């Protein structure tokens, strides 16, 4: 048995909990849109063709923002294809995912879906094959009240009120050679800056996200952010980070420590942004939008090789997550929360079917993957302020990250109570956690749940959707406060 300690003190505030930390992502990719959120022939479809079962799971997941329409898809997208009468919408080749895009769903449907789901839309513009004009056109179509050609077109298409989209991504992963219209940092920085400047002429209050690196291992990482921000610092609010992790070569210990890379990624990007700000003598601060993050078995996707055909909504990137994936994802969430002073927006990629917490069968059932649970619990219980906790924990050796603490944790505190989120990364031993909460007065554990299983590779399926779910943790003591965290577990401990 290992033992760890931590202290919870409401005086140690990092920042408010940012609701946008709990964003996700819907891309025109595989079955995310078609047979995911939208399936008019499904028995649970509503009058707009949206699956009610998916809407309900999205609400339960506690999603704040949803990024759309990509991803790699956006870099070849013509938004005009997806508005107006559906019967007149063109079919196009989607080069990013070697698919045929029917355009049955476009921006108006997406925003309608967002309103039903109670989430904030986050829109990306195409800076791969397109540029300033098309970004401005989309902005005018979406946000201008009426009285111009494009805003009147939106009204004629059935949406009298402006969509009022506040947060916009200036392209997607423009540092990646796989991106249609991939650019050098200088080329992209110039284009992003000029697009942002023009968009601000329409509405100075927009929140704009410049593309950062597609991963901390990109060859241009660091230099990319510096160059892009040299060009765009004054006119953007965020620089993005994207990161995906998977268990490689059966090395579970390294995989469970993947948030170490996310931590390094965030601190490097923040340092780079602040360095550019200092050189520009700017008092403005650029925040991080971690607008793609997740567990993704990318190596399996790459091994599948190129496609020959151009199918409509093929099953792509449909990872079936096991318990260890959910615990790794919980660790990533803890890292995002711990960095809430600078990471003020994030998007779990993606929402449905495509590397997603929600899975569906076409015409059939929808269920929660294992990864649904840490996200839903964190979104539900993280409230008020994020508190810095500095666990004193045994370390373990990993091949990828060297020595890493077994315990990874963060706490949040509001008038309603205090919640501790904790991961035990040990693959074989429980961790005895002693909590010093004297600063909270007479605190008691009102609820402790754990997500764990003797089989770390156990999954949820349509037939066994509840195999992996949070269960009450029976191993708690009140004097002193003490919880036993099973090996490979995600834990939520609520104090009141």
Catalytic residues: 173, 292
Q: Which of 108, 134, 173, 247 binds ligand AHR (CB under 6 A)?
A: 173
- How far apart are the C-alpha atoms of 442 and 209, rounded to whole Å? 44
* Smaller CB separation from ligand AHR, 76 or 487: 76
- How far apart are the C-alpha atoms of 428 and 405, rounded to whole Å? 14
Options 10-18, 67-75, 81-89, 382-390: segment touching ligand AHR (CB under 6 A)? 67-75
| Residue closest to 357 by CA, chosen among 265, 294, 413 | 294
User: Does position 27 bind ligand AHR by CB under 6 A?
Assistant: yes
- How far apart are the C-alpha atoms of 435 and 317, rounded to whole Å? 40
- Locate 420 and state its tokens: 């501790």
Q: What is the separation of C-alpha 248 from the centre of its chain, rounded to a whole number of angstroms?
A: 22
User: Does position 94 bind ligand AHR by CB under 6 A?
Assistant: no
CB 478 within 8 A of CB 446: no
Neighbours of 184 (CB within 10 A): 13
Q: What is the separation of C-alpha 151 from the centre of its chain, rounded to a whole number of angstroms?
A: 30
User: Does position 72 bind ligand AHR by CB under 6 A?
Assistant: yes
Residue 316 CB, nearest distance to ligand AHR (Å)?
A: 9
* Smaller CB separation from ligand AHR, 150 or 218: 218
- Give the largest Cα separation in the chain, rounded: 69
* Smaller CB separation from ligand AHR, 212 or 331: 212
Residue 242 CB, nearest distance to ligand AHR (Å)?
A: 6
Residue 24 CB, nearest distance to ligand AHR (Å)?
A: 11
Residue 30 CB, nearest distance to ligand AHR (Å)?
A: 9
Q: Which of 143, 151, 172, 491 binds ligand AHR (CB under 6 A)?
A: 172
Question: Positive or negative CA dihedral for 425, 482, 62, 338?
Answer: negative
Question: Positive or negative CA dihedral for 262, 264, 269, 274?
Answer: positive
Question: Positive or negative CA dihedral for 247, 251, 257, 259?
Answer: negative
- How far apart are the C-alpha atoms of 194 and 192, rounded to whole Å? 6
* Smaller CB separation from ligand AHR, 36 or 71: 71
In what side-by-side order are the strands of the sheet with 13-16? 13-16, 385-387, 407-414, 417-424, 489-495, 445-451, 471-472
Options 70-78, 161-169, 277-285, 477-485: segment touching ligand AHR (CB under 6 A)? 70-78
* Smaller CB separation from ligand AHR, 134 or 292: 292
User: Does position 453 bind ligand AHR by CB under 6 A?
Assistant: no
**Omega prior to 157 cis, within 30 of 0:** no
* Smaller CB separation from ligand AHR, 172 or 370: 172
Residue 29 CB, nearest distance to ligand AHR (Å)?
A: 6
Residue 355 CB, nearest distance to ligand AHR (Å)?
A: 6
Q: Which of 36, 70, 470, 486 binds ligand AHR (CB under 6 A)?
A: 70
User: Does position 349 bind ligand AHR by CB under 6 A?
Assistant: yes
* Smaller CB separation from ligand AHR, 85 or 177: 177
Helices (H), 90-161: 107-117, 132-143, 149-156
User: Does position 71 bind ligand AHR by CB under 6 A?
Assistant: yes
CB 316 within 8 A of CB 310: no
Give, in degrees to the nearest 5, the angle at Cα 352 between 182 and 378: 100
Options 12-20, 65-73, 112-120, 191-199: segment touching ligand AHR (CB under 6 A)? 65-73
User: Does position 75 bind ligand AHR by CB under 6 A?
Assistant: no
Cross-strand partners of 23: 347
Q: Which of 39, 53, 292, 453 binds ligand AHR (CB under 6 A)?
A: 292
Q: Which of 35, 151, 260, 350 binds ligand AHR (CB under 6 A)?
A: 350
Options 52-60, 68-76, 158-166, 360-368: segment touching ligand AHR (CB under 6 A)? 68-76
Which of the residues 196 through 225 are near ligand AHR (CB under 6 A)? Answer: 214
Please report, for residues 390, 436, 483, the alpha-carbon distance to residue 442 in angstroms, rounded to integers and kept in the order given. 21, 11, 17
Residue 258 CB, nearest distance to ligand AHR (Å)?
A: 16
* Smaller CB separation from ligand AHR, 67 or 163: 67
Q: Cβ-closest residue to ligand AHR?
A: 71
Give me the residues that bind ligand AHR (CB under 6 A), please.
Answer: 27, 29, 70-72, 172-173, 214, 292, 349-350
């Amino acid at each position: 048995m290992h033992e760890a300690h931590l202290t919870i003190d409401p005086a140690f505030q990092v920042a408010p909990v940012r609701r946008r930390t709990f964003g996700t992502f819907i891309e025109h990719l595989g079955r995310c849109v078609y047979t995911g959120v939208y399936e008019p022939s499904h028995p649970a479809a509503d009058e707009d063709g949206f699956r009610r079962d998916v809407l309900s799971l999205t609400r339960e997941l506690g999603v704040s923002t949803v990024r759309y329409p990509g991803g790699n898809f956006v870099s070849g997208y013509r938004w005009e294809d997806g508005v107006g009468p559906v019967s007149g919408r063109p079919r196009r080749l989607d080069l990013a995912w070697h698919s045929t895009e029917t355009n049955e769903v476009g921006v108006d449907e997406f925003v309608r879906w967002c309103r039903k789901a109670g989430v904030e839309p986050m829109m990306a513009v195409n800076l791969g094959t397109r540029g300033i004009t098309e970004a401005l056109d989309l902005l005018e179509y979406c946000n201008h009240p009426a009285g111009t050609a494009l805003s009147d077109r939106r009204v004629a298409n059935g949406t009298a009120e402006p969509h009022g989209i506040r947060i916009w991504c200036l392209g997607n992963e423009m540092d990646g050679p796989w991106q249609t219209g991939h650019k050098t940092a200088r080329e992209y920085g110039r284009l992003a800056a000029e697009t942002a400047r023009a968009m601000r002429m329409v509405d100075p209050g927009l929140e704009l996200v410049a593309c950062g690196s597609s991963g901390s291992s990109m060859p241009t990482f660091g230099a990319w952010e510096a160059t892009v921000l040299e060009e765009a610092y004054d006119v953007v609010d965020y620089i993005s980070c994207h990161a995906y992790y998977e268990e490689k070569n059966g090395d579970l210990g390294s995989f469970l420590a993947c948030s170490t890379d996310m931590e390094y990624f965030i601190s490097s990007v923040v340092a780079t942004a602040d360095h550019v700000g200092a050189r520009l003598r700017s008092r403005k601060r650029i925040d991080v939008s971690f607008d793609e993050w997740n567990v993704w078995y990318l190596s399996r996707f790459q091994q599948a090789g190129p496609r020959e055909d151009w199918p409509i909504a093929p099953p792509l990137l449909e990872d079936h997550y096991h318990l260890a994936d959910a615990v790794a994802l919980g660790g990533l969430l803890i890292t995002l929360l711990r960095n809430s002073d600078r990471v003020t927006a994030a998007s779990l990629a993606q929402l449905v079917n495509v590397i997603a917490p929600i899975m569906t069968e076409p015409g059939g059932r929808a269920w929660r993957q294992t990864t649904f649970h840490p996200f839903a619990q964190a979104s539900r219980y993280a409230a008020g302020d994020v508190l810095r906790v500095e666990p004193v924990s045994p370390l373990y050796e990993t091949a990828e990250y060297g020595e890493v603490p077994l315990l990874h944790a963060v706490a949040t505190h509001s008038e309603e109570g205090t919640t501790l989120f904790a991961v035990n990364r040990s693959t074989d031993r429980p961790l005895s956690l002693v909590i010093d909460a004297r600063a909270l007065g007479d605190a008691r554990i009102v609820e402790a749940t754990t997500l764990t299983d003797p089989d770390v590779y156990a999954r949820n399926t349509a037939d066994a959707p509840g195999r992996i779910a949070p269960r009450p943790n029976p191993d708690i003591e009140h004097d002193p406060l003490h919880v036993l965290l099973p090996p490979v577990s995600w834990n939520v401990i609520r104090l009141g």
